[in-house]
Structures are given as C-alpha cells and as structure tokens.
C-alpha cells in the first residue's frame, strides 16, 4: 500500500478537522445570534431614549417659548443692543439682562442661559453652580443652536428659541441642561471629535475608552476591547447632539456569550477526548511503518554533517514505496555532489595556479618564484609537523603570497635597478592589496593571513602591521623565510643570485630579528641532510 494512502486512512487529521470546523461553525452561529440579540436590545433602548427625549424636548420647547416671550427679557435685550457700544450704559444694560437671565434660570430650573444678537454673537450668559446662579462672561462662548456644549468641565444639552419683538428679531435665547447618563440603561460613551469625554463604564478610564473607539470612526457597528472584555457598540442615531458629538452605547458580549460557550466547551471537550483516543490508536499503528526508515535516514544525515561529505545511504529497503524512491533520489544526489566537489577542487587548484602564473608572467626575472616558494614552504611546514588542511594553507598561501603585486605599477615592479625609498613604499603595499583581492572570495579566506603578513619580521619591524613574534601566523613566518631564500638565490637584473650557502648564512644572521629562529633552524637543517642536493629538490622529496 502506498504511503499516501496509509497516511490518509490512519491519520487523525480528518477527526481534528471535523471537530475544529464544527466548533468554529457553531461558535460563529452562536456569536451571530448573540450579536443580533444585542443589536435589537440596543436599538430598543435607543428608541425608548428617543421617545423620552422627544417628550422632554416638547416640554422644554414650551418653557423655551415662555422664556422667549418674557417681556422683561425683550426690553433688556433691546436696551443692550442699543447701548452695546456705549461704555457705562452698555455695562448697565448687560447687568440688567444678566439679572433677568438669572431670574429665569431660578424660576424654570435651567442650568445655563445665553442670549445672542441676531447674528449669533453671545451677549450675556448665566450658569448654575449648585444652588447658586451666577453671571458668566459670554464673549468666548460658541454655543450651538441645538446639541451639546462643554463648559467648565460639564456638558450641557442646548436648545434655542428666537426672541422677537413684533416683526423684528432681537436675537436668540439658548437654554442648557446638564447632560445626564442616568437615562441610559446600557453603558455609554460620549465622544467628541474622536476623543472620549464622558463614560458610564465603571473602572474604564476615558483615555482607554478613546483608544478602544479609535477604530470605530465612521462605522456604525463595531466591537471594542475594554478592561479585557469585548463590547458590542452602536451609536445613538435618533438624537442629534451637534457637530462632532457621538454617543455610543455598549453591551458586554463576553458576559452574554459566556453561558453558551461554557456548554459548548463541555460538549466539545467530551467529543474531542473520544476522537483523540481513537486517533491515537490509529496513529500508533501507522507510526511503526513510518518512523523507522525516516529515523535511519536522519541519523545518516547527522553523520554526513559531521564529516562534511554526503555518502550514499545503504540500509534495508523500506516497504513504503515513497521511502524507497526517496532513498534512491538521495543516493543519486550524493553521487552528483561528490562529482561536483571533485570538479570544484580541480577548478580551484587550476585557478590558484593561474593566479600564480599571471603574477610571474609580469616579470620574467621572477618566473617560477611563487611555485618554488610554495615547494620550500610546504617542505618546511611538513618538517615542522604540520599536516592536513594547515599544510595546504601554507602551500597555497605561498603560491598566492605575492598576488598583490598585480596592483603595483610596471614602472616600479619591473625597474631594472634598485628602488628609491618612495618606490619601495609602493612595493610594500602589495600584502594589503593581495588581501583585498582575495577577501572577496570565500574560498581564499584561509590564506589571507599568509598573504597579508608574509613580510612581518620577528622583532616587529616588518610591514604592513608591525606584528612581532608569535603574533604573525605560522604560515606567514614559514613563507617569509622561503621567500627570502628564493629571492636571494635567484638572479635579478641588478645582481646575480647568491649561492645556497651564502643565503643560508644570511638567514642565520637575521634569525631572531627578521626571521623566526625555529623556522630558520629547521629550514637550514633540511638543506644539511644532503649537501649535494638543492633545497628545492629536498622540499619535493619531503612532500612525496
């Protein structure tokens, strides 16, 4: 039987999908039903409030008409309009109107009264504070004809009536009552221009309410999170509160759905327990035929990770068709990777050789220098006990040690005579140039130290960094000695090459200052093993 068929028949995914889908669908149905009930409840509440407000507005309109027809008020308003620009007379008229407003406020129980001229400019106002009614500077007030007004930390519901004398309009009278949340059976939040200014929610600050309702701007129905509970909110649409004011009532959805969720959770917990037990039995049966071959392959991959190679997978064939195909594909991939690695190594070595040949081709007098230094350094490293990748770093680092001379001008590099101090300063830049050339290629990272520091001296007088002693990598110290030996024993346009014995004597003379004494001692010992054999021939013998 195919693996896909076994997984389909024995896995418990269908059980979990069925239970999850059913639970999600029923929860959505319950949530939708609760939301509809809350919506209807809020709308009925809004309708009741609107009817109550309508009766209140009707009653208030009668009071307003009575107040607007007050003869004393009309007379005082006429006097104020006539003497508004007359200093003392205007002030006396203002005090008269304020007294009339104060009397109306006390008689009719209003909390705020304001008279305005025909153009709507406030003229006089009074406000109630406790049992006392006092005059209020009307100049900065901008009371609406109808709606809400925030004044002195309190919110007033405003209604207005014109004040007419015969056919002439003298202005308008605005009456305000403190806006009271007590008429709302559901929690409510009053918002002005997106900022919550009043709330009947217990334990919820206005700033928290404002942040919660920030996403409800321009939306009728919305859900908000307040105090860790989810509320369903609707704006009160049957009553106008003026520009920028919105009153939103709320219902706690969590408390409304909690009993239903408790019942659903209990039912589905039982069903889930039974389904999981059944799925577990089937899963245990199927895991025996799946886990064993997969574990074997994983262990094989872990072994490969440690060696850096990807050998073919050899093991008992799996009875599962897909696992057999996977093993076969894995083995084909391992063979392809091995071939690619071998090809890459060949190309890599060819590229290194090409770089060294490109450098030697610039100066016929140094032809073969990089190859000879590589052989000398490799032999010396092997004699020091260096093996494996470390020895390869010495050998290839020596091949590349002068690669930076590619960046040195021909007029300096190929000069037949001795270099001036300025020209030698240019030549001394080649270790750093070599590093910059090679550091952009990941494969050359192990050789950067050998290339950059092969001219550092044992006593710290070398270049480019002035490193001393063991600060310089071993590969660079070995290449330094091998490079100096080959330079001294090679012919140059301005001098003939030294003999082997002369070069060895100079290396001994500068051991401990320019060169690592231990490397010089071993280098000389390699030559002393056969007085008739040149050191480069001896190096080739050591590497074989």
Q: pLDDT per residue over 213-240, tens digit each?
A: 887 877 778 888 888 888 878 787 666 6
Number of compact structural domains in the chain? 2
The tens digit of pLDDT for each residue in 116-135 reads 888 888 988 999 988 889 88
Q: How far apart are CA 115 and CA 125, in angstroms?
A: 6
Q: Please, which residues have CB within 8 angstroms of residue 117's CB and are 6 or more apart in sequence? A: 81, 123, 170, 171
Last residue of a domain, one of 141, 161, 179: 179
What is residue 531's predicted lDDT score, i.e. its pLDDT?
Answer: 43
pLDDT for 544 equals 36
Beta-ladder partners of 207 = none
Q: What is the pLDDT of residue 107?
A: 82
Q: Within a domain: residue 54?
A: no
Identify the helix (H) or strand (E) that includes residue 191.
strand 188-192
Span 500-524, average pLDDT: 93
> Looking at the predicted structure, is the pLDDT value of residue 445 above 80?
yes
Tell me the three state secondary structure of residue 171.
strand
Q: Which of 149, 179, 209 delimits the end of a domain?
A: 179
Q: What was the pLDDT predicted at 211? A: 84
Whole-angstrom Cα distance, residue 146 to residue 159? 5
Is-contact 77 125, C-beta < 8 A?
no
What's the average model confidence in pLDDT over 294-318?
A: 65
| pLDDT score for 159 | 85
Q: Is the predicted pLDDT of residue 288 greater than 80, yes or no? A: no
Task: Residue 95: give its domain's CATH number.
Answer: 3.30.450.20
- On whether the CB atoms of residues 379 and 542 are closer than 8 A, the answer is yes
Among the ranges given (198-207, 295-304, 463-472), the one the predictor scored with the smallest mean pLDDT: 295-304
528 pLDDT higher than 70: no
Give alpha helix (H) positions in 243-320.
253-307
Between 163 and 348, the higher pLDDT residue: 163
Q: Which has more confidence, 450 or 326?
A: 450
Closest-CA residue to 530 (of 500, 507, 490, 491): 500
Q: Taking 60 as the threshold, does the pLDDT of residue 1 lie above it?
A: no
What's the pLDDT at 541? Answer: 40
Residue 491, domain member (yes or no): yes
Residue 398 domain flag:
yes
Q: Domain containing 103: what range? A: 69-179
514: left (phi over 0), alpha (psi -120 to 50) or beta: alpha
Question: Does residue 135 lie in a domain region?
Answer: yes
- Read off the pLDDT of each residue in 53-62 and give the average, rounded to a whole number: 58
Which residue, 146, 160, 131, is CA-closest to 63? 160
| pLDDT for the residue 20 | 73
Give the residue, 97 or 26, on which the prediction is more confident. 97
Q: What is the pLDDT of residue 451?
A: 92
What pLDDT does residue 356 have?
67
Q: Is residue 518 part of a domain?
A: yes
The answer to whether residue 95 sits within a structural domain is yes
Last residue of a domain, one of 150, 179, 208: 179
Q: How many CA atoms lie within 13 A of 111 on its CB side?
A: 17
For residue 536, the model assigns a pLDDT of 45
| Predicted local confidence at residue 389, as pLDDT | 87
Average pLDDT over residues 252-268: 72
Max mean pLDDT among 224-228, 440-444, 538-542 falls in 224-228
Residue 250 falls within a domain, yes or no?
Answer: no
The pLDDT of residue 254 is above 60: yes
Identify the band that residue 452 occupies on the pLDDT scale cut at 50, 70 and 90. very high
Q: Is the predicted pLDDT of residue 191 greater than 70, yes or no?
A: yes
- Spatial separation of the C-alpha atoms in residues 393 and 375, rounded to whole Å: 12
Per-residue pLDDT reduced to its tens digit, 460-492: 999 999 999 999 999 999 999 999 999 899 877
Residue 543 clears pLDDT 80, i.e. is over it: no
Question: How much is the average pLDDT of 374-384?
Answer: 91
The model's confidence at residue 376, banded by pLDDT at 50, 70 and 90, is very high
CATH number at residue 491: 1.10.3210.10
Q: How confident is the model at residue 279 (pLDDT cuts 50, 70, 90)?
A: low
Is 38 within a domain?
no
- Give the pLDDT score at 450: 92
Give the least confident one: 106-110, 398-402, 515-519, 536-540.
Answer: 536-540
Cα separation, 337 vs 331, whole angstroms: 10
Indicate the average pLDDT of the chain.
78
* Residue 530, pLDDT above cutoff 60: no
Number of H helices, E strands in the chain: 17, 11
Beta-ladder partners of 269:
none
Which DSSP letter does residue 414 get? T
| CA distance from start to end of the chain | 58
Res 339 pLDDT > 60? yes
Q: What average pLDDT score do residues 107-114 get?
A: 85
Ranges 278-282, 502-506, 537-541: which has the least confidence: 537-541
pLDDT at 8: 56
Q: What mean pLDDT do residues 142-165 have?
A: 82
């Amino acid at each position: 039987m195919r693996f896909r068929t076994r997984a389909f028949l024995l896995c418990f995914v269908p059980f979990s999908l069925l239970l999850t889908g059913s639970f999600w669908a029923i929860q959505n149905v319950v949530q939708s039903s609760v939301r509809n009930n809350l919506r209807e409840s809020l709308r009925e509440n809004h309708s009741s409030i609107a009817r109550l407000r309508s009766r209140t507005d009707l009653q208030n309109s009668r009071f307003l008409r009575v107040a607007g027809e007050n003869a004393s008020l009309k007379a005082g308003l006429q006097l104020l309009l006539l003497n508004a620009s007359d200093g003392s007379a205007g002030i006396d008229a203002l005090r008269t109107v304020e007294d009339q407003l104060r009397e109306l406020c006390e008689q009719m129980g209003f909390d705020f009264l304001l008279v305005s001229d025909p153009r709507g400019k406030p003229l006089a106002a009074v406000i109630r504070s406790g049992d006392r009614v006092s005059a209020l500077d009307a100049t900065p007030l901008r009371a609406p004809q109808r709606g809400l007004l925030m004044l002195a930390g309190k919110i007033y519901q405003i209604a207005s009536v014109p004040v007419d004398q015969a056919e002439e309009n003298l202005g308008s009278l605005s009456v305000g009552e403190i806006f009271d949340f007590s008429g709302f059976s559901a929690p409510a939040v009053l918002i002005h221009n997106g900022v919550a200014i009043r709330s009947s929610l217990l334990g919820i600050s206005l700033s928290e309410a404002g942040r919660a309702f920030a996403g409800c701007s321009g939306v009728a129905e919305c859900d908000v999170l307040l105090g860790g509970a989810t509320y369903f909110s609707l704006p009160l649409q049957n009553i106008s509160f003026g520009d920028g004011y919105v009153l939103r009532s709320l219902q706690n959805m969590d408390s409304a759905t909690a009993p239903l969720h408790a019942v659903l959770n209990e039912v589905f917990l039982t069903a889930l327990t039974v389904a999981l037990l059944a799925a577990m039995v089937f899963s245990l049966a199927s895991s025996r035929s799946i886990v064993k071959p997969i574990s074997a392959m994983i262990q094989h991959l872990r072994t490969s990770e440690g060696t850096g190679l990807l050998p073919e997978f050899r093991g008992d064939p799996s009875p599962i068709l897909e696992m057999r195909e996977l093993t076969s594909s894995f083995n084909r991939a391992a063979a392809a990777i091995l071939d690619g690695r071998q090809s890459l190594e060949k190309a890599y070595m060819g590229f290194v050789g090409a770089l060294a040949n490109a450098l030697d081709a610039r100066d016929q007098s140094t032809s073969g220098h990089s190859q000879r230094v590589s052989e000398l350094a490799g032999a010396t490293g092997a004699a020091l006990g260096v093996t494996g990748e470390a020895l390869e770093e010495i050998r290839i680092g020596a091949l590349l040690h002068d690669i930076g001379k590619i960046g040195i001008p021909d007029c300096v590099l190929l000069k037949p005579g001795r270099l001036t101090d300025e020209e030698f300063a240019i030549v001394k830049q080649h270790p750093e140039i070599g590093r910059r050339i090679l550091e952009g290629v990941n494969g050359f990272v192990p050789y950067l130290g050998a290339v950059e520091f092969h001219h550092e001296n044992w006593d710290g007088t070398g270049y480019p960094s002035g490193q001393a002693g063991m600060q310089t990598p071993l590969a660079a110290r070995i290449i330094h000695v091998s490079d100096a030996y080959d330079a001294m024993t090679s012919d140059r346009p301005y001098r003939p090459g030294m003999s082997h014995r002369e070069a060895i004597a100079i290396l001994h003379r500068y051991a401990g200052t320019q060169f690592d004494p231990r490397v010089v001692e071993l280098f000389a010992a390699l030559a002393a093993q056969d007085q008739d054999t040149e050191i480069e021939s001896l190096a080739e013998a050591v590497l074989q």
